[in-house]
Amino acid sequence: MDEKTEELRDIFVDVADDDTVTESQAETHGSLASEEDVEARLRETVAEMRDALDFETSLSVDELTTLVERFYSEDSDEELAEELGVDVEDVVEARLDLHLLRERDTDAPLDRVRDADASVDELADELGVDPDTVRHYRRVAETRAERRRLNDRYRAEFENALQDRELSERLTSSVHEDGLDGATEGQETDIDI
């Protein structure tokens, strides 16, 4: 300690009637979610969803968690199928179980498909599509209805967990960048060795 610091310390000890001049640190409220925390939240939500709802997929909780992450990374169904080593149809079924819809899933006359008393074949003729497409549209309509019934809570939980990860990555990268900028400020960095 230099002379000024010692003087300030002595004044503090006299005024405070305490020999301790440092404050113990306590954990602050809130923290950035670690990658493991995000993974755990996603896995927990998927497992809860699988227990509460009638899943048609045979994919494991870990595979479904990977599907959720990659879906929000904007991977296509084909890319997801390749990653998981399954057919595209299995990915689509799992997505629907997880309430994850793509825009093209909802580009159909879903109200007509869901509310129709007509058979799959009759609807296919009426809409000019094949019966498998009508079955897919019906499944999408059921998924949308189930999401509404549950206030879309599972999908909201996925998005909250992933937003925490994104926020954490943005904040830590900006801190890292700021720290490097300050450390290298005023230094010559274009030096031949």
**pLDDT at position 4, please?**
81
- Most confident region among 33-37, 56-60, 166-170 by mean pLDDT: 56-60
Q: Is 28 a residue whose pLDDT tops 50?
A: no
For the chain, what are the domain ranges? Answer: 34-99+151-166, 103-149
Confidence (pTM): 0.66
With cut-offs at 50, 70 and 90, classify the pLDDT of residue 176. very low
- Most confident region among 16-25, 109-118, 134-143 by mean pLDDT: 134-143
Q: Is 85 a residue whose pLDDT tops 90?
A: yes
- Most confident region among 13-27, 32-46, 59-73 by mean pLDDT: 59-73
**Torsion angle of the four alpha carbons 14, 15, 21, 27, in this order, in degrees rounded to the nearest 10:** 160
* Residue 95 CA: distances (Å) to CA of 24, 26, 117, 123: 49, 42, 26, 24
Q: Output 51 or 3, whichever has higher pLDDT.
A: 51
Q: What is the mean pLDDT of residues 105-129?
A: 79
* Alpha carbon distance 142, 140 (integer Å): 5
**pLDDT at position 1, please?**
60
With cut-offs at 50, 70 and 90, classify the pLDDT of residue 29. very low
* Residue 21 CA: distances (Å) to CA of 4, 12, 26, 54: 15, 7, 16, 61
Please state, as a whole number, how many other Cβ atoms lie within 10 Å of the Cβ of residue 168: 17
